[in-house]
Chain A
Amino acid sequence: MTVEVSSLKELVEQASGTSGSPDTQEYFVNMGPQHPSTHGVLRLVLKLDGERVLRCIPVLGYIHRSIEKISEHMNYMNCVHLTDRMDYLSSIMNNWAVAKAVEEAAGIEVNDRIRYIRTIFAELERIQSHQLWWGVLGMDLGAFTPFLYGIRDREVLNDVMEETIGARLTMNYVLPGGLMADIHPNFVNRVKEFIKYFRPKLDEYDDLLTNNVIIQERLRNVGVLSAQTAVQYGATGPVLRGSGVAFDLRKDHPYGVYDQVDFEVPVGTVGDSWDRYWVRVEEMRQSLRIVEQLLDNIPPGDFLVKKLNSKIKLPEGRYYSQLETARGILGVFITSDKKDEPYRLHYRSPNFNNLWCLEPMIKGDYIASLIGAMSSLDLVIPDIDR
């Protein structure tokens, strides 16, 4: 049955009528905004036939904080700290995105040390984001133990970052023109310890979830997202690469020092949840590789180009800059009118586009598959709403 409906209201009216066979009735359920598997306040309006999902309409706005509007009254340094609250699992990468946009627009050149440290932290952050995702995926699929293992290992990494930054979640570390603080003297050694600790844990992850036939069968052929659809919907990050599109900003438009390191990018073939799963697990390994290569070669230098960088004024114009966060491409669009505040600041958040891939992915599949597919998208809701 294919119905073209434009609005939610129309959809409800259709369902309350006599659609379907006389003995079965399609019905609606609200998944969320309070639901254990929507990870936050995402609300999905599901049209179900038994357990089969016929429509899945995301409803947003439950955690809208108008970050973009608030940013219009902030100087560029202050704008950064709000991005921590968007995708809180890639906060450093979000900070970097704004910093990168401002630096490119204002023509600020940062030194090598800053670029190295930013890259290292971005990769560490990618790892901790994927660690949490891994655990949460296990929990969504009914295995509670992986969640605690993932959290446990993330805690180790969080401590490493906390020592330098001083915060665990809303880090606000990267600023336009540099960093909030220099790396802690212990940092290099502690990251090395972490790498030594985490490598065997990755094999353990494989033992616990990856090689488990139940998890594989829960993910295989579930939520198949073709390359075509992924591109059409603007999916990015592991979601796009899981669908077989080899596109990674770190390779294709290198920023930071990604052009100086040797790493590979995992790319799926089918585009099902399983592909997205192993792409992320593999990305953790590759991130470890990147960090390992950079760690011993951090060049000396200042951690901030100019001490007081609050008065950065961008020339009039429109600027766009993007980078690859743990979930995909975060684009920053700045319209400047020569002031030290943006006239308009817009974020192209990866989760927003990834979310809309959900419906084409799970149409006609079970609710349980919806959970698996949604987990494999790795959504962070505050990033969708901003």
Chain B
Amino acid sequence: MATTTPDQADTESPPMDFGDLKSQCVAPRPSIMGRRRSLSGILWLSFKGILRGLLTTLSYFRRPSTVVTQQYPENRDTLQMFERYRGRLSLIHNEDGEHGCTGCQICERLCPNGSIIVTKDKKNEATGKPALDQFIWRQDTCTFCNICVLVCPFDTLEMTGDFESSVYDRRLLVFNLNEYAGPTADQLEKLGDEELAKAQMKPMNKYHGPVPMCGGELDGIPKLDTGKSDDA
């Protein structure tokens, strides 16, 4: 079919010694007309191939049970994501609403594109140790590489299967993952004083923080101010 190109003409010269594969190979598979066959053979094979193709598609047409389409918004109740699905980063909070993040910033350092910003209180008044101030995660730039979850020495990060995160305003994709600014669950327990511990758990403004795109006021969009986390 193709006209001979100079490159193809080269093949006429003695072939190079190719094929030092250290194993036997699968036998070549000639096409119907690729091998010398009688006309009836070609016709029969062609007919057979075409017929089997038709029967294949018909077999699916006949059986509506083979339909694999999932009607997404309708099947929302039954839809199950895999437990490891990387949909949204979240900071694990225990049943008392306490997190385990010490603000060590390893995740921030190892985030490939700076999607995590961790700020910390240098010295917490009660514990005397550094405590987490803000754990800001930018979903708009996150590549979901899972490295932060892997490297977290306190296993306090996880990826959740929440995948419905489309919004109309990019600013809405910047999250403060911690629900309060303050020491970790362990440190609070060491205090021994429940009242004092409660006092350390300052509520977080979810969208407030030093992230450039976050918190400011844009035309037509009111300043975002939701005190309580609503991504649960």
Assess A/B contact in the complex (Cβ within 8 A).
Answer: yes
How many interface residues does B have (CB within 8 Å)? 54
A268 within 8 A of B: yes
Among B4-63, those with CB < 8 Å from A are 5-8, 10-11, 15-16, 18-26, 28-29, 31-34, 45-46, 48-50, 52-53, 55-57
Residue A8 is within 8 A (CB to CB) of chain B in the complex: no
The answer to whether A172 and B145 touch across the interface, beta carbons within 8 angstroms, is: yes
Contact A152 B143 (CB under 8 A): no
Distance A168 CA – B97 CA, assembled complex (angstroms) = 32
Q: How large is the interface on A (under 10, 10 to 19, 20 to 34, 35 or more residues)?
A: 35 or more
Additional pairs, 8, CB under 8 Å, beyond known A211-B49, A226-B10, A229-B8: A74-B112, A77-B110, A167-B85, A226-B7, A252-B22, A266-B26, A363-B2, A364-B2
Q: B130-138, B146-154, B206-214, B223-231: which lies at the A interface? A: B146-154
The chain A residue sitting closest to B68, CB to CB, is A152
Given A81-B112, A166-B146, A172-B145, do A222 and B2 touch, yes or no (CB 8 Å)? yes
Q: Do the beta carbons of A219 and B21 come within 8 Å of each other?
A: no
What chain A residues lie within 8 Å of B143 (beta carbons)?
A: 81, 170, 172
A265 touches B8 (CB 8 A): no
What are 26 of the A-B contact pairs (CB < 8 Å)? A78-B110, A78-B145, A81-B145, A82-B112, A155-B68, A159-B82, A162-B82, A166-B84, A181-B84, A207-B56, A211-B45, A212-B49, A213-B33, A213-B46, A214-B50, A220-B31, A221-B2, A223-B2, A224-B8, A244-B19, A248-B21, A264-B24, A282-B26, A286-B26, A360-B5, A360-B7
Contact B22 A251 (CB under 8 A): yes
The 0/1 profile, CB within 8 Å of B marked 1, for residues 266-310 of chain A is: 111110001100100010001000000000000000001000101
Residue of chain B at shortest CB distance from A267: B25
- Bound-complex Cα distance A269 to B147 (A): 45
Q: Which residues of chain B are within 8 angstroms of A231 by Cβ–Cβ distance?
A: 16, 18
Q: Say yes or no for A246: interface residue by CB 8 A criterion.
A: yes
CA–CA, A164 and B46, complex, Å: 43
Q: Quick check: A228 and B11 within 8 Å, CB to CB?
A: yes
